[in-house]
Amino acid sequence: MEKLQRPNNIHHQAFLCRDAEQTRWFYEDIMGFKLVAALDFESSPGSGEPLEYMHLFFEMGNGDHIAFFDIPDDVGEEKFGYTSGFDQHIAFEVETLEDLDNWKNHLNDKLGWASDPIDHDFVHSIYFYDPNGLALEITCRDKDYEKIMKEDQRKAHNNLKLWTEKTREKKESKVGSEKLQERGLDRKELIKRLKVSGLV
């Protein structure tokens, strides 16, 4: 790893959306992000196969983005159910607890629901959803964040080791030890699944 530079930040995370304009409403008008690209494509970037889609980029305060694909031929309500935050969620960060409270009131007012702040010790968070069913969070660092994280970091590798020991048997019974041991890509599976994107 010595010659590799650790990536700096998340340039973008991309998701499928139901509708470009509905998604623009949410990320610009409700979240205050800036629409910085709305690219209209006629073909798949890898394979060149015909594919009508729009790729949208919204910029947040530090220059990171959240991105979406609107693919009319692929749209279907089953893709936009509310996701469980345990499956995946995106957390945006604000600076103060007062900001967090203002966001809670704003989202409650505009969307009809946002959770009350939850105290996670190192951060305080509220939870809500975008129109595509993505679980979202706004989080604010606790005043003791540095101290708490320093302690968490000190214990992290050992905690992970203990966790693996504790849960290994159950995991093996669920997915098998071969999958747990995997440390590379399953090329055959990759080709099978991604042929359509033209990336492999």
Contact residues for Fe ion (CB under 5 A)? 91, 137
CB of 137 vs Fe ion, minimal distance in Å: 5
Q: Which is nearer to Fe ion, 91 or 200 (CB)?
A: 91
Rounded distance between C-alpha atoms, residue 41 and residue 52, angstroms: 6
CB of 126 vs Fe ion, minimal distance in Å: 11
CB of 170 vs Fe ion, minimal distance in Å: 24
83, 73, 19: which is closest to 51 by C-alpha? Answer: 73
Shortest-Cβ-distance residue relative to Fe ion: 91
Rounded distance between C-alpha atoms, residue 127 and residue 117, angstroms: 8
Q: Which is nearer to Fe ion, 120 or 193 (CB)?
A: 120
Q: Which is nearer to Fe ion, 137 or 142 (CB)?
A: 137
Q: Which residues contact 15 (CB under 8 A, 6 or more apart)?
A: 66, 67, 68, 69, 132, 134
CB 66 within 8 A of CB 58: yes
Q: Which is nearer to Fe ion, 69 or 92 (CB)?
A: 92
CB of 91 vs Fe ion, minimal distance in Å: 4
